[in-house]
């Protein structure tokens, strides 16, 4: 049933705007699109101008390894240990070059007619079936990609023809400058990459959605808390202020994140780890002086700092409907001190955290359907992330224009 409120003429005689009809199912229509953040709205298939992890380093050998990234079909390959990346579509008749192989050192030959491209430059250096004097040679160049190896993974830069920034400028600073032992997981997931970032950074969901995860079984979770978002360098941080472990909801009753079998909550709000923690903080982590335990940076990197390790999530746009979830757990230790981490990672973390806990996130990202959306107080985290994406993209596009480069359509709309 629909209840309609008719326009009224108040005593002052001035007609007011007719009020929006109220529907039983909701009072306000909410945000219908993301046009407040036009770059973000346009970036359904990802933001250009970044390095993205695409697979484990040991998955790439002397044969082409096919990758889809930001809707682009490419392949990566090794030649004498060095990594190369190239657009996958053979310009001759459109057959994927990843079906071909190396017939000459440093070059890939298409499986169909043997067009052969230099891996470094992309130049067509031979068309085998037209002989050594083929006039097509030198007239065709296949687009190439910059590729790097870091954190045991292969990273590909997708840009607009600009010189890529050094990959180390984009990685979390503490991972570049400190030895760490890593536990990683790469998983192809359904859903838009932005839902994945927003899920990762969203203030509200962890305390509620994940309260049933085994990983959280013995750890108390606040019912709600107040948070401030603080920007420092490339990152925005969620800084926890008040934490409420139990709350009385008027007319409904009490709701709590505590239980007799869970650890006791801390007396004061903590900003290392999101649950009670009395453990000594690893010196590398302590030295970062993170303003808050959860932070995010472009192009969709989440960092959750715990006392003894840091968990990262890289959300990699495959296309508008799919992304790669890349989870990295880093323990800043070396030598024999790394052994307990391996035991902990393989014995528990891998299954409970990267597995079941993260599976709850995977499920939510698959079924999120927004916009439209009606945001609530804790979603300031989402608003600030979108603003960050918008501002950083503005700067990037300005820099491209200065170089006389045209951003591709999707990134500039």
By beta-carbon proximity to ligand FES, the closer residue of 142 and 240 is 142
Compute the least distance from the CB of residue 225 to Fe ion, in Å. Answer: 16
The secondary structure of 131-186, three-state, reads CCCCCCCCCCECCEECEEEECCEEEEEECCCCCCCCHHHCCCHHHHHCCCEEEEEE
- Tracing tokens 């001190």 back to the chain, one arrives at 337
Cα 388 from Cα 50, distance rounded (Å): 15
By beta-carbon proximity to ligand FES, the closer residue of 115 and 155 is 115
Q: Nearest 5°: CA angle at 213, between 209 and 219?
A: 100
Residue 110, contacted partner among Fe ion, ligand FES, none, CB below 5-8 A by kind: ligand FES
The two tokens of residue 75 are 């392949």
Helices (H), 250-349: 283-288, 339-344
Helices (H), 155-299: 173-177, 193-201, 205-209, 283-288
Evaluate whether 238 touches 381 at the Cβ level (below 8 Å): yes
By beta-carbon proximity to ligand FES, the closer residue of 124 and 329 is 124
Evaluate whether 219 touches 275 at the Cβ level (below 8 Å): yes
Compute the least distance from the CB of residue 112 to ligand FES, in Å. Answer: 4
Applying CB under 6 A, the residues found at the interface with ligand FES are: 90, 92-93, 95, 110, 112-113, 115
Cα 41 from Cα 321, distance rounded (Å): 14
Beta bridge partners of 116: 109, 126
Residue 195, contacted partner among Fe ion, ligand FES, none, CB below 5-8 A by kind: none
Compute the least distance from the CB of residue 114 to ligand FES, in Å. Answer: 6
Compute the least distance from the CB of residue 364 to Fe ion, in Å. Answer: 7
By beta-carbon proximity to ligand FES, the closer residue of 40 and 84 is 84
Q: Which residue is nearest to Fe ion (CB)?
A: 361
Compute the least distance from the CB of residue 392 to Fe ion, in Å. Answer: 24
Evaluate whether 213 touches 206 at the Cβ level (below 8 Å): no
Cα 85 from Cα 67, distance rounded (Å): 10
- The region, left, alpha or beta by phi > 0 then psi within -120 to 50, assigned to residue 374 is beta
Compute the least distance from the CB of residue 299 to Fe ion, in Å. Answer: 19
By beta-carbon proximity to ligand FES, the closer residue of 99 and 270 is 99
Compute the least distance from the CB of residue 378 to ligand FES, in Å. Answer: 52
By beta-carbon proximity to Fe ion, the closer residue of 322 and 360 is 360
Evaluate whether 332 touches 180 at the Cβ level (below 8 Å): yes
By beta-carbon proximity to Fe ion, the closer residue of 203 and 361 is 361
By beta-carbon proximity to ligand FES, the closer residue of 114 and 266 is 114
Compute the least distance from the CB of residue 206 to Fe ion, in Å. Answer: 5
Applying CB under 5 A, the residues found at the interface with Fe ion are: 361
Cα 188 from Cα 69, distance rounded (Å): 12
Residue 361, contacted partner among Fe ion, ligand FES, none, CB below 5-8 A by kind: Fe ion
């Amino acid at each position: 049933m629909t209840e309609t409120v008719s326009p009224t003429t108040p005593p002052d005689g001035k007609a007011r705007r007719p009020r929006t009809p109220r529907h039983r199912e909701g009072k306000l229509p909410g945000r219908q699109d993301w046009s407040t953040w036009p770059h973000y709205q346009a970036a359904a298939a990802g933001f250009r101008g970044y390095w993205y992890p695409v697979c484990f380093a040991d998955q790439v050998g002397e044969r082409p390894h096919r990758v889809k990234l930001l809707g682009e079909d490419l392949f990566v390959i090794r030649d004498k240990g060095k990594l190369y990346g190239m657009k996958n579509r053979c310009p001759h008749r459109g057959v994927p070059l990843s079906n071909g192989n190396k017939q000459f050192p440093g070059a890939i030959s298409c499986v169909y007619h043997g067009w052969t491209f230099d891996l470094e430059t992309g130049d067509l250096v031979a068309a085998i079936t037209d002989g050594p004097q083929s006039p097509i040679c030198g007239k065709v160049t296949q687009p190439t990609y910059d590729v790097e190896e870091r954190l045991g993974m292969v990273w590909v830069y997708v840009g607009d023809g600009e010189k890529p920034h050094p990959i180390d400028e984009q990685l979390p600073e503490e991972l570049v400058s400190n030895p760490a032992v890593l536990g990683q997981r790469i998983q192809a997931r359904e859903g838009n990459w932005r839902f994945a970032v927003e899920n990762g950074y969203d203030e509200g969901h962890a305390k509620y959605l994940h309260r049933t995860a085994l990983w959280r079984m013995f750890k108390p979770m606040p019912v709600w808390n107040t948070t401030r978002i603080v920007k420092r360098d490339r990152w925005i941080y969620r800084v926890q202020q008040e934490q409420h472990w139990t709350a009385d909801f008027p007319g409904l009753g009490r709701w709590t994140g505590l239980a007799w079998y869970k650890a006791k909550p801390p007396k004061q709000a903590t900003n290392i780890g999101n649950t009670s923690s009395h453990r000594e903080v690893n010196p590398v982590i302590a030295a970062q002086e993170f303003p808050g335990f959860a932070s995010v940076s472009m192009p969709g990197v989440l960092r959750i700092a715990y006392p003894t390790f840091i968990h990262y999530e890289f959300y990699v746009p495959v296309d508008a409907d799919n992304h790669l979830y890349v989870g990295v757990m880093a323990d800043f230790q070396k030598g024999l001190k790394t052994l307990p981490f391996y035991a902990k990672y393989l014995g528990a973390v891998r299954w409970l955290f990267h597995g079941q806990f993260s599976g709850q996130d995977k499920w939510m990202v698959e079924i999120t359907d927004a916009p439209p959306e009606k945001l609530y107080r804790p979603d300031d985290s989402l608003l600030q992330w979108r603003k960050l994406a918008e501002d950083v993209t503005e700067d990037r596009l300005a820099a491209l224009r200065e170089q006389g480069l045209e951003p591709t359509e999707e990134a500039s709309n």
